[in-house]
Structure 1
Amino acid sequence: MSDDLQTSDIPGLDLDAFRRWYDGERPGELSPDLRGRVIAGGRSNLTYEVTDGSSWWIVRRPPLGHVQATAHDMGREYTAMSALVPTDVPVPTTYAHCDDPDVLGAPFYVMERILGTAYRQSTQLQALGPERTATIAGRMIDVLAALHSVDPAEVGLGEFGRPAGFLERQVRRWGKQLEGSKTREHPDAEELHRLLTARVPADDPSVVGIVHGDYRLDNLLTGDDDEIKAVVDWEMATLGDTRTDVALLLVYDRLASLPGSGLVSDVSTAPGYPDTATQLDRYAAAIGRDLGDMGFHLGLAYFKLAVILEGINFRFLQGQTVGEGFDQIGAGFDPLIQAGLAALERD
């Protein structure tokens, strides 16, 4: 087994407590020599690899310390992936979910370990070359369209969310999230939130579907054959306006051109990565409908991503993060807010 696997002192994962619980859920699967490690790269929930030397599992739990009441929903992740297993959307097989915080200090779930690469850095794609980069990014768009084509009721997710009033609730939710994790005053962010509140579009039933909530290339696991093996990180999944997924993906791409690029991902700067128009055309062709005006959705996506970064920065300043690179995460907030204001102005 890998040298960095541990039998103890893993932040947020007590292997003895995990073993006792999992043995009760799925008796006989674990052999005695249980080890684990934190998987590097996450900026939100904690993800672990656990092995007994012959088999592997992935364990997901919320971050340590400060956690927003509506964020880091392990049950939501588990439910979404479990329902999508029989569809064309690639997801890991789920094994068990624990909603008892006394076991590991927070709810968690266990799923299949999928071998694949989460492409987060431009240099990773540069090593593949422009043609393979274009192929992978194109398949990313195809998988998103496949997700948005799933009938929620047919996979048991008909009650997974409330599509009516979805955009209004999103604006309100992310405003509350910002209030709950502010590290300083943000007058421009408050103005963006005010404008979003005033410009919420009417509900459009034609675009209602399963929303991933944080769709981007590094939340996909890509195989050596450049096929998308799994979509992961479903903590914000719900039913609602699927254009919010498209807008957030485009905003993640644009983040690479803003100050503090690379804090989340800079894959869009790699040669061969498709531009916005190419992605929108491919998505529209796959989904079979035009997206219409995306100004509001882009403004909301910029606001949402800025709030997510602020929450991570809050936990960093409280000493509640695990891993490296958090000291620069707050630098992306103001540029994202300004870009959101600009998107609404263009709209």
Structure 2
Amino acid sequence: MSDQEVRDVALGHDDPPGVDLARVAAYLADAAPGLVGGPLRAEVIAGGKSNLTYLVSDGTGEWVLRRPPLGHVLATAHDMAREHRVITALGPTGVPVPRTYALCEDLGVIGAPFYLMEKVEGTPYRTASQVEPLGRDRTRAICERMVDTLAVLHAVDPADVALSDFGRPAGFLQRQVRRWKRQLDASYSRDLTGAEELHRRLRLSVPESPAPAIVHGDFRLDNLLVDGSGDVVAVLDWEMATLGDPLTDLALLLVYQRLATFGIDHTLPDVSTAPGYLADGEILDRYSVASGRNLSDMGFYLGLAYFKLAVILEGIHCRHTRGQTVGAGFDTVGAAVEPLIKAGLDALKEHR
């Protein structure tokens, strides 16, 4: 593609926040020749509260572009290269992921790393109102496939997909406890009741991990795309993926399910309240059978999941107060943080 053609591709459309279409078009002309064939336009896809996701189109084809959030980000978060790497590596496996096209680590293009991937047709079910029309049986089947997909992911041998060096499984849980405390300290903007106590109890009760696996880090139904037949066709949002303890994924899934009953924030997912959605025990039983893993220490994992989610939401709250978020729905996120911390303390007392 010539320089004039590159300019023509980017002409005539306003750039959304965080993306320079002319520079993206010029980069793709070299990185993915022939992919883009017409004027580019892009829009922010609603729903993301961390990395920014855009739908990019040339009028014929459509792709998804991912970049870090605007403003300051924590050093270990929002790593586009890692996210791109794990999605690309899982492409040949039974884990459904989008095809990747290009990774750009040159900050001179749009001011931050980004990557481009396939747009997969499917629905990220987030609310009960979305799935209720499907009926109880269909909702249950979708939820079962969600749990099965998680078990499939955790069954992938990292060595088979060249991800042996993607993380450090030894001491994973101890580092998770330390990491989320550091993340909280880095996002500190107010006192949070119970935060120090929850961190202390987690630090003193770390169990022995099972065999390591590829961990998604944010696995839930609205990070999956489901097609018209109810099959999971793509797992999205891999920004927190690593190698580690697979039960952290399972616990976070349960915490998201429980969060819908808190009555804290209408913008948080409530799909788990829909008739037919699997209860906690059903999810644990199905995962246990599919994976063969011991789930006797779920109290700790739930406590850690509550802590992790509280820290993530506190980081979003902090960025919102500094005017560094894009889109709506951020003004009430901060109200969920202390109830999550309390739930984490309660979860440490639980035993399956």
Aligned to 1:69: 75
> Which whole-Å CA distance do the structure 2 matches of 1:41 and 1:222 have between them?
16
Contact in 1 for aligned 2:15/2:41 (Cα 8 Å): no
| Correspondences of 1:137-152 after superposition (within 5 Å) | 137-152=143-158
Q: Does 1:17 align with 2:23?
A: yes
Aligned to 1:157: 163
SS at match of 1:27: coil
| Correspondences of 1:106-255 after superposition (within 5 Å) | 106-202=112-208, 204=209, 206-255=210-259
Shift in Å at residue 187 of structure 1? 4.0
Shift in Å at residue 208 of structure 1? 1.1
Letter in 2 for 1:257: T
Shift in Å at residue 103 of structure 1? 1.1
Q: Does 1:299 align with 2:303?
A: yes
Shift in Å at residue 183 of structure 1? 2.4
> Which whole-Å CA distance do the structure 2 matches of 1:96 and 1:62 have between them?
16
Letter in 1 for 2:70: L
Letter in 2 for 1:138: E
Aligned to 1:277: 281
> Which whole-Å CA distance do the structure 1 matches of 2:150 and 2:92 have between them?
16
Stretch of structure 1 that moved more, 296-305 or 123-132 = 123-132
Letter in 2 for 1:13: V
Shift in Å at residue 291 of structure 1? 1.7
Shift in Å at residue 90 of structure 1? 0.2
Letter in 2 for 1:31: G
SS at match of 2:103: strand
Shift in Å at residue 199 of structure 1? 1.5
What percentage of aligned pairs have identical amino acids?
A: 58
Stretch of structure 1 that moved more, 24-33 or 111-120 = 24-33
Contact in 1 for aligned 2:31/2:102 (Cα 8 Å): yes
| Correspondences of 1:86-125 after superposition (within 5 Å) | 86-125=92-131
> Which whole-Å CA distance do the structure 2 matches of 1:24 and 1:235 have between them?
26
- What TM-score do you get using the length of structure 2 for normalisation? 0.94
| 1:304-344 superposed Cα distances (whole Å, 9 cap, x missing partner) | 00000001111111111111111111111011000000011
SS at match of 1:110: strand
Q: Does 1:324 align with 2:323?
A: no
Shift in Å at residue 234 of structure 1? 0.3
> Which whole-Å CA distance do the structure 2 matches of 1:171 and 1:290 have between them?
21
- Aligned alpha-carbon RMSD (Å): 1.2
Q: Does 1:50 align with 2:56?
A: yes
Q: Which runs of 5+ in 2 are unaligned?
A: 1-11
Q: Does 1:40 align with 2:61?
A: no
Stretch of structure 1 that moved more, 20-29 or 243-252 = 20-29
Q: Which runs of 5+ in 1 are unaligned?
A: 1-5
Change (3 A) 1:262 1:281: farther
